[in-house]
């Protein structure tokens, strides 16, 4: 018996959790947290439809929280098997899970202190201890090598682009009677990205689980480097501050890299870049340690010349130092986590700076529906942060070309070697309109039939 159940990333981009079952063995592919609006976040608190103790192993595609963020909770609920991941993913996950636990704890603490809970005491979804326990279970795997996750469940990682260490996974499942091959796309990256190499050609599987974050969208042909140049020139002229919310690992390095490219080629004068994240130093170390997983030249990764950590980059590790940035006048850039503005230090910057008409907020990543990030991009003039009304007078600029996600054109290009259509095609990891749009594109352009699974649906493979 070979089965697959969808326990997240159905009708949403978050909470990726796919349960593969071969006879009595169970392997979870990704173990993500639900993020965004409350109706999604509450799903993190619901009991799982399976027993974590019965899972043989977890195979993660990459280190984003919507793919790994539920691991500490899974461990707290009894999971004790290996968590397979590529080497950079192991390192990034170590940093991000600890940070996620910290955010959970701080947020619960804040709510309790301010009396923001409507009933009982606010609790963190998981603690720093849970995150540490999860970190110990990680087991590194390498691109293009077979591993056995459980009897009858073999897998191989392939480069997916997207972020450092990100993989798509090829499974070979064998229940004694039949064999099935399955490909999970994970999050598919873009072609020609400046830092992360392109996704590799996939094999042709029997079943495909395809993400659809940008299933109906095309990235605009705008040049993000040019946009960044224009915005920075403008803030230098106005002596103001450019605030960039970005994930601490990945997007932050990409933005620093781009600014340093602009400075290096005299397209902008040198400008102070403040990294408001305790994780930035360790994140840079990951790029130095795993040189074959990105495109930044080795000689630009050391000492004062280091593009990610050089003279102009000021790191703010401590919370006190982060608060001091509230007094900073420009021209300067502040990069602060998190990307969708759903938590973390970025919130106090927003409370402080959104009412300032001289300030520029530049969003550089994907912001899911219902998140503060999305509301700001959509032009809301009044937002609530920690239930506090905040007037938005700052200039909001949305740079889209920096997305780490393939658009539908790139998805179709990547899928080309799978023609003619795999027997079963499941579209997940997208807002409903995007998943439907990808299904349409696959139908009209490739003649493929696909299924949009529902939450907790189980299918035979
Ligand atoms: Zn991702």
Tell me the per-residue pLDDT of 312-336, one tens digit each, with 9 for 90 and over.
888 888 888 888 899 999 899 999 8
The residue segments making up the domain with residue 261 are: 224-398
Do 250 and 392 fall within a single domain? Answer: yes
Which CATH number characterizes residue 251's domain?
3.40.50.10890
Q: Which helix (H) or strand (E) holds 198?
A: none
Do 293 and 414 fall within a single domain? Answer: no
Dist. CA 134 → ligand 1 center (Å): 19
Residue partners of 239: CB distance under 8 A and separation at least 6: 329, 330, 331
Which tens digits make up the pLDDT trace of 173-211?
A: 999 999 999 999 999 999 988 889 999 999 999 999 999
Do 27 and 140 fall within a single domain? Answer: yes
pLDDT (0 to 100) of residue 301: 62
- How far is residue 215's CA from residue 218's CA, in Å, rounded to a whole number? 8
Do 211 and 309 fall within a single domain? Answer: no
Q: Divide the 461 residues of the chain into consecutive groups of 10 and give the mean pLDDT of each group.
A: 97 95 98 90 94 98 96 97 98 92 86 76 92 98 98 98 96 97 97 91 98 92 88 95 87 87 90 85 81 80 66 84 89 83 82 95 83 91 92 92 89 97 97 97 97 97 96
Do 89 and 114 fall within a single domain? Answer: yes
Dist. CA 248 → ligand 1 center (Å): 13
Do 212 and 258 fall within a single domain? Answer: no
Which CATH number characterizes residue 123's domain?
3.60.15.10
Q: Which residue, 370, 398, 426, sits at the end of a domain?
A: 398
Q: Which residue, 381, 398, 415, sits at the end of a domain?
A: 398
Do 149 and 236 fall within a single domain? Answer: no
Contact 232, 259 (CB under 8 A): yes
pLDDT (0 to 100) of residue 139: 98
Do 158 and 28 fall within a single domain? Answer: yes
Dist. CA 218 → ligand 1 center (Å): 18
Dist. CA 287 → ligand 1 center (Å): 17
Q: Which residue, 344, 370, 398, sits at the end of a domain?
A: 398
Angle at 306 between CA 361 and CA 193, to 5 degrees: 60
- How far is residue 430's CA from residue 12's CA, in Å, rounded to a whole number? 5
Dist. CA 9 → ligand 1 center (Å): 12
Contact 32, 65 (CB under 8 A): yes
Do 427 and 450 fall within a single domain? Answer: yes
Do 22 and 171 fall within a single domain? Answer: yes
Dist. CA 27 → ligand 1 center (Å): 20
pLDDT (0 to 100) of residue 299: 64
3-state secondary structure of 370: coil
pLDDT (0 to 100) of residue 302: 62
Dist. CA 88 → ligand 1 center (Å): 14
Name the DSSP class of 98: H
pTM: 0.87
Dist. CA 67 → ligand 1 center (Å): 7
By the 10 Å C-beta count (0-12 exposed, 13-18 middle, 19+ buried), 236 is classed as middle
Dist. CA 345 → ligand 1 center (Å): 21
pLDDT (0 to 100) of residue 303: 63
Phi, psi of 330 (to 5 degrees): -80, -170
Do 173 and 250 fall within a single domain? Answer: no
Dist. CA 62 → ligand 1 center (Å): 7
Dist. CA 429 → ligand 1 center (Å): 10
Dist. CA 184 → ligand 1 center (Å): 13
By the 10 Å C-beta count (0-12 exposed, 13-18 middle, 19+ buried), 136 is classed as exposed
Dist. CA 64 → ligand 1 center (Å): 5
Do 193 and 236 fall within a single domain? Answer: no
Q: What percent of the chain has pLDDT over 90?
A: 68
Q: What is the Cα gyration radius of the chain?
A: 22
pLDDT (0 to 100) of residue 456: 96
Q: How many domains, the chain?
A: 2
């Amino acid at each position: 018996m070979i089965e697959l159940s969808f326990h997240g990333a159905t009708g949403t981009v978050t909470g990726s959790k796919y349960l593969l079952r071969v006879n009595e063995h169970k392997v979870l592919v990704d173990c993500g947290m639900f993020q965004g609006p409350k109706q999604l976040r509450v799903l993190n608190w619901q009991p799982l439809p399976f027993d974590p103790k019965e899972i043989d192993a977890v195979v993660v595609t990459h280190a984003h929280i919507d793919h790994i963020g539920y691991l500490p909770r899974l461990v707290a609920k009894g999971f004790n098997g290996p968590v397979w991941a590529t080497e950079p993913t192991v390192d990034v996950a170590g940093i991000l899970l600890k940070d996620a636990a910290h955010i959970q704890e701080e947020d619960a603490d804040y709510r309790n202190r301010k009396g923001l809970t409507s009933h009982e005491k606010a609790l963190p979804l998981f603690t720093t201890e849970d995150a540490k326990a999860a970190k110990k279970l990680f087991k590194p795997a390498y691109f293009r090598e077979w591993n056995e996750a459980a009897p009858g469940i073999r897998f191989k990682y392939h480069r997916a682009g997207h972020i450092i260490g990100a993989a798509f996974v090829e499974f070979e499942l064998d229940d004694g009677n039949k064999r099935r091959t399955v490909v999970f796309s994970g999050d598919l990256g873009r072609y020609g990205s400046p830092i992360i190499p392109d996704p590799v050609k996939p094999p042709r599987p029997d079943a495909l689980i395809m993400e659809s974050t940008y299933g109906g969208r095309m990235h605009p042909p705008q040049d993000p480097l040019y946009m960044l140049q224009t915005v920075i020139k403008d803030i230098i002229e106005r002596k103001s501050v450019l605030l960039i919310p970005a994930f601490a690992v990945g997007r932050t390095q990409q933005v620093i890299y781009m600014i340093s490219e602009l400075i290096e080629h005299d397209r902008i004068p040198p400008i102070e870049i403040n990294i408001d994240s305790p994780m930035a130093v360790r994140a840079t170390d990951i790029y130095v340690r795993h040189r074959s997983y990105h495109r930044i030249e080795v000689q630009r990764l050391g000492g004062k010349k280091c593009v990610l950590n050089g003279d102009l980059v000021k790191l703010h590790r401590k919370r006190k130092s982060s608060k001091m940035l509230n007094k900073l006048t420009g021209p300067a850039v502040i990069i602060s986590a998190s990307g969708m503005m759903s938590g973390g230090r970025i919130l106090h910057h927003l409370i402080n700076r959104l009412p300032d008409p001289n300030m520029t907020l530049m969003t550089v990543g994907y912001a899911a529906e219902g998140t503060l990030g999305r509301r700001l991009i959509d032009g809301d003039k009044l937002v609530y942060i920690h239930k506090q009304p905040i007037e938005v007078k700052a200039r909001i600029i949305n740079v889209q070309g920096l997305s780490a996600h393939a658009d539908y054109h790139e998805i179709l290009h990547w899928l080309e070697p799978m023609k003619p259509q795999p027997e079963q095609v499941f579209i997940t990891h997208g807002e409903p309109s995007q998943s439907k749009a990808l299904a349409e594109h696959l139908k009209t352009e490739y003649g493929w039939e696909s299924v949009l699974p529902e939450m907790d649906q189980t299918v035979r493979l």
